[in-house]
Structure 1
Amino acid sequence: MNAPTPSVPGLPTDLSGRIVVVAGGGSVAPGWSIGRAACLTYARLGAQVCVLDRDHASAQETVRLIHEEGGQACAYEADMAVETDIAQCFADIHGRFGQVDVLHHNVGIGKTGGPMETSAEDLDRIHAVNVKSLMLSCQQVLPGMVQRRSGAILSIASVAGISYVGYPHLAYSTTKAAVIQMTRMIAQQYAPYGIRANTVVPGLIDTPRVAANVAHMFSQNLDEAKEARARQVPLNRMGTAWEVAQACAFLASDAASYITGTELLVDGGLTGKYA
């Protein structure tokens, strides 16, 4: 006699009632950054989204877009390299909402160049923004998550943190590698408390940051630079911020309830191509 087929529940990606903090929820230029797309995605799934960004006007723009769709969001100004800024934002969030269910750390800056083009000051500044801010943010949310024995932490790294991407990007690459390892360690330490921590690793994504900071490494013509980047990818195109945001929403939700301490590549096959 055949065993009965177990019922398979639908993916529980509903985030209604969750408080989601997105550090880096604005955009360096008009358009859809990963952080901004993630904020709207979380709001569409029912979450209350707290948008943190160094550029308060950009955070407010993200909130405006969420409110236009009937979602819930609020904006906070914070330089994520400054401990007092982070502490004040989270104090306000905890005072207003009582808890943080999901921390999405979307912060990242860089400077192209190798060891001879990167000063000690460059490396310190980029490390403070990309790595130290993740630790400081986790310090703000982990006590409450431990108390409730639940919570999800998402960090956004980059394929540059695990592979050479065709041009020297020393400080960005090494700090994103550190983000991956820090997230792994948090996942292991806090798994007994029901807290999950994972890293999303985007590949070559078409975002305002690419146009502003990276495209010139391929060509002075933006369209040519985008075409050159697309040719590197097995899927023959760059990804979109929305494709990364959907991966983040999955890991933030109960659909990923048994996933922790790992990396989700959203790279169109790029990493496998050079493995």
Structure 2
Amino acid sequence: MPRFAANLSMLYPELPFLDRFEAAAKDGFEAVEYLFPYAYPAEELVARLKAHGLRQVLFNAPPAGTDAASIDAAWAAGLRGTASLPGREDEFRAGVQLALRYAAALDCPRIHCMAGLLDEGADREVARAVYVSNLRWAAAEAAREGRDILIEPINPRDIPRFFLKRQDEAHAIVQEVGAPSLKVQFDLYHCQIVEGDVATKIRQYLPTGRVGHFQIAGVPERHEPDTGELNYPYLFSVIDEVAAQCGWQGWVGCEYRPREGAQPGGTTRGLAWLRQWRTVHAPAS
């Protein structure tokens, strides 16, 4: 049975961020992920995790910037990573080092490094060379700390001009870098929008050892995974089947916008899909 992590940047939007840890635990989640931890002292986040018996399984390196204020400003300004941006290598490295310090405190095994936006007219091959060089450095730094660096293809409808869009591109880069600590963050929502054939891609890529994490959302509205054009019960079964064959033991992040928005209790009501899955697939006593 897939292990599901609550994405606290999207779920429970009616609650202050720090109160979302308790809400996730009450709904039966054992792990959480979110975009960025940098607005909070690591000690405060650790306390929330421990108080509610949760594991931190993923967060993002800064989208740009090197401290809480500049990171928040960069995200608000629409910046979506510096990994592929020529001339910002020092900023990328400082961001990864900050992320690794948080990962050590939170005992988080994975950090997602966003690729960044490619300006119109920019030389894609130059950007790719910067991306590979930065990822090679980041993977080596993460390996020394016992962490993984993840890269994620993202659809151009949600983030226009994002450098990395396709699974095959991501896996080719991971293979070129050749570091066991560099993996792909396989978001089924983004994959369906850009290229489709999701089940086949799970079967193709999960056994390679290059998939570090899955994320899910309904397509096209990015609501709960019980609506839209993807048959998630089937896809969960595919993940289960292939994971059992290859020994994969990662997490599936619930990175979707609740259908009921910020209505009190909306996220919990929308988790009927998860409660049903748990009931159907509960181990026999």
Give yes or no for TM over 0.5: no
| Structure number having the greater helix percentage | 1
| TM-score tier after normalising by the smaller chain length | 0.3 to 0.5
**TM-score of the two chains, using structure 1 as the length reference:** 0.36
